[in-house]
Amino acid sequence: MVVRAPTSAVLIIGNEILSGRTAESNLQHIAQQLAQRGIVLHQAQIVVDEREAIIAALESLRHTHDYVFTTGGLGPTHDDVTTAAVAACFERAVILNPRARAKLLAHYGEDKLTQARLKMAHLPEGVELIDNPVSAAPGFRIDNVFVLAGVPEIMRAMLAGCLSRIVGGPALQSRTVHCLVPESTVAAELERIAGQFPECDIGSYPWFRFGQYGLALVVRCSDRAQLDAAASAVLELAQNYDPLAQLAL
């Protein structure tokens, strides 16, 4: 029986990524975590901290994927507009969430729970909170959308909390064949193998370093028998051109 794997999209919110100031550093971690749980990450979008840009992206993603994960824009400053944009998408009011306020109160104490900090407890009505063990201000889930912080260590903690609560599919496993062969040399035969194993995703990733051509041929599949058979075929192909070609997990 083939179980359909859930699909997902990531929406990264932050001017700092698009200005070139900051290297995006959350996507690979999210992608790896989703893959381990058999959730297919089908696309990612990166948008500026502007309400309309966030709304447009979220509307395009949330109806076409089982899950959407957003990162960034949850803080106390004027450029943090994610919560307002998500609320607008779902036509919910933004209200002071008593449980979120309690978390901030426990973290900061009454005297340091300023108006600016209280902004982080103003959330769309009817959300489920996502714990933030680092700095208290929670993320939240609304329908199929998980709204996470952008600071990597906070995002990772929040994501771990989310993933423990959602149902994944059969985990994708991968095998990689490493060889020193130009990819055009194996292109035709690799296409034939890909045709023989339609359930496997076979990717070809060339590299050039110090005048040397190399190639990583990656087979991904949730069915272990198909995976091993396809990987063996790819390894045999690679060894025809590079006797030292190797298979790695």
Q: Which of residues 114-153 bind its own copies (CB under 8 A)?
A: 114-117, 119-120, 134-135, 151, 153
Q: Any contact of residue 46 with its own copies (CB under 8 A)?
A: yes
Query: Which span sits near its own copies by CB under 8 A: 13-21, 91-99, 125-133, 139-147?
Result: 13-21
At 176, the amino acid letter reads T
Based on CB atoms, which residue is closest to its own copies, 103 or 220? Answer: 220
- The correct pick among 89, 155, 163, 194 for binding its own copies (CB under 8 A) is 194
Nearest residue to 70 via CA among 143, 122, 1, 4: 143
Query: E-assigned strands of 27-93?
Result: 40-47, 67-71
Q: Are 145 and 68 in contact (CB under 8 A)?
A: yes
Based on CB atoms, which residue is closest to its own copies, 47 or 227? Answer: 47
Nearest residue to 63 via CA among 4, 7, 115: 7
Based on CB atoms, which residue is closest to its own copies, 145 or 202? Answer: 202
Query: Which span sits near its own copies by CB under 8 A: 35-43, 81-89, 140-148, 223-231?
Result: 35-43
Q: How far is the CB of 129 from its own copies (least distance, A)?
A: 19
- The correct pick among 28, 164, 198, 243 for binding its own copies (CB under 8 A) is 28
Token readout for 167 is 């149902």
Number of residues that bind its own copies (CB under 8 A): 69
Q: Which of residues 196-235 bind its own copies (CB under 8 A)?
A: 201-208, 218, 220
- The correct pick among 184, 196, 199, 248 for binding its own copies (CB under 8 A) is 184
Q: How far is the CB of 121 from its own copies (least distance, A)?
A: 12
Based on CB atoms, which residue is closest to its own copies, 104 or 130? Answer: 104
Nearest residue to 226 via CA among 199, 246, 194: 199
Residues near 117 by beta carbon (within 8 Å), at least 6 away in sequence: 76, 104, 108, 137
Q: Which of residues 68-107 bind its own copies (CB under 8 A)?
A: 75-80
Q: Are 176 and 202 in contact (CB under 8 A)?
A: no
Residues near 110 by beta carbon (within 8 Å), at least 6 away in sequence: none
Burial class (CB in 10 A: 0-12, 13-18, 19+), 182: middle
Say which residue the tokens 């990264």 belong to: 12
Question: Which residues of the shown chain bind its own copies in the complex (CB under 8 A)?
Answer: 15-24, 27-35, 41-49, 53, 57, 60, 75-80, 114-117, 119-120, 134-135, 151, 153-154, 172, 174, 183-188, 190-191, 194, 201-208, 218, 220
